[in-house]
Amino acid sequence: MKTIIALLAFAFGLFICPDQARAEFRSAKDMQKECRVAFAVLQGTAERTIANALLTGECIGYVQGATDAAQALAENVSWYKVCVPDNISTQELIQKFIVFVDANPKYTLASTAIEMMLAQSFPCRK
């Protein structure tokens, strides 16, 4: 179900909002702002407006998509290992991303910030 939601959010962003769908050029701070809105919407502390729904969809799609990509990368290379538990919610991932960006301003690209957050938060334990 999470994967379907992520794919729908990604497709929506790609075809409806093509300028915003260029995730590789998004700053970590810009994505963090959107994810703050998403987190508030998911917690029920922000209005459920169309604008907030779009930001929430973009954040959820980005975070879940990046997490899925990180897990695929970790399975295929020896230098990047991340073991995200199956039972972690997207809301928890969003919260961790928000905190990570504040604590690590040196990671200025959203893609780098999320990959580093995942590696730091979910190292493989063997």
The pLDDT tens digits for 68-77 are: 999 888 888 8
The fraction of the chain above a pLDDT of 70, given in percent, is 80
**Structure confidence at residue 126 (pLDDT):** 67
Give Cα 76 distance to the centre of its chain.
21
**Token representation of residue 52:** 């907030």
Burial (Cβ within 10 Å: 0-12, 13-18, ≥19) of residue 49:
exposed
Could you tell me the maximum CA-CA distance found in the chain, to the nearest angstrom? 45
- pTM of the predicted model, to two decimals? 0.76
Roughly how many angstroms between the first and final C-alpha of the chain, as a whole number?
A: 29
1: pLDDT confidence band, cut at 50, 70 and 90? low
Answer whether residue 16 shows pLDDT above 60: no
Within 13 Å and on the Cβ side, how many CA atoms surround 2? 15
